Structures are given as C-alpha cells and as structure tokens.
Amino acid sequence: MRVLVVGSGGREHALVWKIADSPLVDRVFCAPGNAGISQTAECVKIPATEILQLRKFARENSVDLTVIGPEEPLVKGIVDAFESSGLRAFGPNQQAARLEGSKVFAKQLMQRHSIPTAPFRTFNAPERAKSYLDMVGPPVVVKADGLAAGKAAIVCRTLKDAYEAIDRVMIRKEFGEAGDQVVIEGFLEGEEASMIAFTDGRTIAVLPSTQDHKAVYDGDQGPNTGGMGAYSPTPVVTEELASQIEREVLVQTVHALNREDKHYRGALYAGIMVTDDGPQVLEFNCRLGDPETQPLLMRMQSDLVPVLLAALDGTLDQVDVRWDQRPALCVVMASGGYPGTYRRGLPIEGLEDAAKVKDVVVFHAGTAVEEGRVVTSGGRVLGVTARGNSIKEAKERAYEAAKLIHFERAYYRTDIGQKAIDRVEAGEGQTDFA
Ligand code: AMP
C-alpha cells in the first residue's frame, strides 16, 4: 500500500513512524513533512491546506490511503474532495469537522444532546456580549468561534479582562473571522485530560487517556501554546471515569452527530475538565492531538493501518487495538520566544546521541534541512518522547535525551508529567500502571 500523511508537525512524524512500520505499507509520502520525517517518508512540497494539489498528487501517485494530521484541511473539506475523486482519506468530512471548526456549533450540539459542558451563551455583537458579562461577572472564558491554532480561548478572571477579551476577538479581530462570533462560558475548576477515539461513525475504539500541557511555562503559567508536552496514561482518568467519558461524551457525540445527519469518521478528540461534578467537555478536536499523538503511538502495539482502514470501511467493531501498559511521555523543545516571535534556521546538535537513550524517539516538529544540516524552522521544534516502567521513569528518560540536544535559545518546560507523579506518590487516582 501507498500512504500519504498530510502535515508537518510532531504528530505527523509520529504517524509516519508508526505507519512505516506496518507490513501492509511499502511507500509513505508526507506533505509537506519536515527534516525528521524525510528520513522515513518521501516528502512532497505541498502545503497541508492545498487540497486540490494534494488530491492531484494522491491520484497521480496511486495513493491508497491519505491520513490528515491537522484540523485546517479537514475543516476546509479535504475528505470530501478526496472522496469525490474515489480516494480514501482518514478524517471527518467538512460537515462533521464543524465540531472543531465552530465552537458555537460544538456547544449548541452538546446542549441539544445533554453532553456535559460548561454553561454558555453565544454572541455576534460586542455590546451584547459585554452586557451579558455585566450580568454573569467573572471568572469566564471567552472563545472565538472559529479556528485559531488553540489560542482563541481566553480565561478572564476580572470583568476588565473579559471586556478586553471581547475587544481583542470581536473589535480588533486578532483572530480574523474566527472572531465573528464568540462563546462566553463558565469557568471550570479541575484538572484537564484528553480522551481520543477512533470511530467509523458507529463503533468507537477509545485510546488510552492523555494529558497535555498547554501553558508555555512550568506550573501552567504564561500564555497558551499548541502544547509543550504530553503523557499517557494519566492517573486523573480512573477506569471508572474513562468509561463515563466514553459513554457520556464520545458515544453520545457520535450518536448526536448521526441524529443530525452528520456522519463522523476519523479521530474524535475530547478535551475534558475533570471537575467535582464529573467530566465536562472543554473542546472537541476533529483529529489526533499534537503532542498527545507522540506518546500514544509509542504505546500502540497494534498495527495502526488496519485500524484506520476499518474506520473508513465501517468495520471498527472487528478490530482489536492493543496498547503497551508502560507509560510514555513527550517533552516539546521549542524556539526561545515561542508562542511569540522566535528565530528560525538555527542548527540543531545532538539528535543522534538523544536517539540512543533507551526507549526514546525524537519526533521532529519545526525542523528543516539547510545546507545538509538540520535546523529549526518553527515554534515547536522537537518532541522528545520516551517510554518507561512508570511515568517517572519515562519523564527521566525524556529529559535525559532532551539535555543532549542543543540549539540556540532552546526552551522546554521542566515539569511535564509532574502532576501525575505527584498523584502517584500521594496514591490518588488510577496509579496501578505506574
Ligand atoms: P479550548 O481551546 O476550548 O480547549 O481552551 C483552551 C484552554 O483554555 C483549555 O485547555 C483550558 O486550559 C482553558 N479553558 C477552556 N475552557 C475553559 C473553561 N470553561 N474553564 C476553565 N478553563 C478553560
């Protein structure tokens, strides 16, 4: 089989790494890919959002399966475009991808189908939004309706902050037309976790729990990023909680979409706040998470390709997905300055030494090859991922490897997985795997 992976980040490197391992696959392409991906796949210079060029490439190169990494092409309808040409693409179609493409749509769907989420109102005029803020008071979370690379959810602890958030989103249009509408929702107290499922629209296969770290600095301080690290499984999601999330959120969402004539196939990602009142949905994503995919695929023992094909064929009920019991953890090495401005083109040293650390894989995100050298080319540069017999051991290995890698102004958080380790040490939550 020939497989094309669309995207260029750490998630796509992990997908390429896992797909290339499948005995069913003899050629892997990636568009556009990065320096690390180019060691395993044939990189094709087509941006992930150029749907028609991607379709032409897939047709001309007899690609049997295309796996879409990022949300933007999904929300723009890449799966519909491929299917209309008889090509197979893993991911939801444009209608179903609205679950991520529009927070207003997602919140209203949850409301209509009693899927647990924070109370909210939606607005398309800033004055009305502000009157509502006067009425409910802080703390609240202001969210732009559309896609904004995970940066359009603004947690506001004072009324002044909330007014400012409305101005940024609706008046100054910092997130472009994503801010034509806003959701204002109640602030939820708790710990976050992510649950992802593969689904064919009928059956769901739930992946192990993960937790990512969105804030840029240690202790969850500073602005949100695309994700500074992740690990799996997380003790905050006990077996009981995992089945509650499966039932009340994942199954219920696929069912809700079916009832509204939107057939969801692909990876369904639920960002959850675990509160004293049970799990509440923070957001849905219509694809695998980045960096959650890196530790998840390191733990996946089954061949990924038959699972993706079964999701397309509607036969997910016939596949059994096996997971390594050992935890895995990913530390993102970023360019100094990210998520603000940063330099590109800085040479990266030590990649080979880091890859020699036991049970470590260094997934590339923002890297490129310039004059034969691997250099930085994005905000998130690498995802140093390790497996261990415990989260603590996985963490130690990932940091041991990260310390061997050098580039100017490299930055990473030093506390990825620490909340889990603290829980394990306190004997709280699901700790038998660690
Ligand atoms: P979202 O893009 O909706 O997942 O939001 C990004 C981040 O903002 C989440 O990972 C949370 O850390 C935070 N957040 C979003 N919604 C809420 C909420 N209702 N209460 C507390 N924090 C939230």
List, run by run, the mean pLDDT of 10-residue segments along the chain (434 residues).
98 98 98 98 98 98 98 98 98 97 97 98 95 95 87 89 94 88 96 97 97 95 93 96 98 97 96 97 97 98 98 97 97 97 98 97 98 97 97 98 98 97 86 65
Ligand 1 pocket check: which of 120, 142, 155 to mutate, most ligand atoms within 8 Å of Cβ? Answer: 155
Cβ of 214 below 6 Å from ligand 1: yes
Ligand 1 pocket test: which of 273, 281, 284 has the largest number of ligand atoms within 8 Å of its C-beta? 273
CA 408 to ligand 1 center in whole angstroms: 32
C-alpha–C-alpha distance, residues 194 and 241, integer Å: 12
pLDDT for the residue numbered 193? 97
- In the numeric block, the tokens 């992930």 are attached to 48
Asked if 273 and 282 touch (Cβ cutoff 8 Å), the reply is yes
Kindly tell me the burial class for residue 44, based on how many C-beta atoms sit within 10 Å of its own C-beta (0-12, 13-18, 19 or more): middle
How far does residue 277's CA lie from ligand 1's centre (Å)?
A: 17
Minimum-distance ligand 1 atom for the alpha carbon of 187: 20
Which pLDDT belongs to residue 200?
98
Q: H/E element holding 24?
A: none
The pLDDT tens digits for 398-434 are: 999 999 999 999 999 999 999 999 988 888 877 776 5
Residue-level pLDDT at 434: 56
Q: Return the residue whose CA atom lies nearest to atom 15 of ligand 1.
A: 282
Q: Report the mean per-residue pLDDT for the chain.
A: 96
> How far is the C-alpha of 258 from the C-alpha of 243, rounded, in Å?
21
Which residue bears the tokens 């060691």? 39
| pLDDT of the residue at 150 | 65
Assess whether the C-beta atom of 187 lies below 6 angstroms from ligand 1.
yes
pLDDT computed for residue 179 by the predictor:
83
| Ligand 1 atom at shortest distance from the alpha carbon of 118 | 19
Q: Is the CB of 283 within 6 Å of ligand 1?
A: yes
Q: What's the 151 CA to ligand 1 centre distance in angstroms?
A: 10
Q: What's the pLDDT score for residue 428?
A: 82
The reported pLDDT for the residue numbered 303 is: 98
Question: Is any atom of ligand 1 closer than 6 Å to the C-beta of 153?
Answer: yes
Ligand 1 in reach of 213 Cβ (< 6 A): no
Which DSSP symbol is given to 406?
Answer: B
Identify any residues that bridge with 360 across adjacent strands, giving them in sequence order. Answer: 386
Ligand 1 lined by 28 (C-beta under 6 Å): no
C-alpha of residue 188 to centroid of ligand 1, in Å? 8
Q: What is the pLDDT of residues 107-160, one digit of tens each?
A: 999 999 999 999 999 999 999 999 999 999 999 999 999 898 766 789 999 999
Kindly give the number of the ligand 1 atom that is closest to the alpha carbon of 103: 3
